[in-house]
Amino acid sequence: QGADIFSAKINIEVQRASELAIAAIEKNGGVVTTSFYDPRSLEILCKPVVFFLRGQPIPKRMLPPEDLVLYYTDARNRGYLADPSKVEEARLELAKKYGYTLPDITKDELFQMLSTRKDPRQIFFGLAPGWVVSLSDKKILKPTDERLLKYYSS
């Protein structure tokens, strides 16, 4: 509902998206990425202040369970684990199916914003797993220990 009047150019990450929703966003030069969030990561994402007040390191987002891997690796779903070249092909196919010309976002002044993606293990854009956000000190604490760096980067 509302796909015919949607006119924003956005870069959005959602857990699931219908074909029509993807088409409505891409028709305007926007970008959709479907991403899996395990229950803990989703809770942290929905209530970040509560999480940050605990003073715990941001965990790694878990990968999807076996029964969801196909969905998140499928370019037609704009899955975050899909091959980027296949996503581009799927974008063109969808534009053809719905009868619109796909805007060339590489020439858009917002290209950097539109092409920005999180790492598959990241919960928050701009904040890496392992970092601690101290709201009281207004600081981000980053691990320096090699073992921690290796753990959070894997």
Question: Both tokens of residue 39?
Answer: 């229950």
Helix (H, G, I), strand (E, B) or coil at 151: helix
* Predicted confidence (pLDDT) per residue in 52-63, tens digit: 999 999 999 999
In this prediction, residue 4 carries a pLDDT of 86
Residue 154 confidence (pLDDT) above 90: no
pLDDT tens digits for range 2-47:
888 899 999 999 999 999 999 999 999 999 999 999 999 999 999 9
- 3-state DSSP helix/strand/coil percent for the chain, to nearest 5? 40, 10, 45
pTM over 0.85: yes
Q: Which pLDDT score, from 0 to 100, does residue 99 have?
A: 96
Q: Which residue has the tokens 């959709």?
A: 32
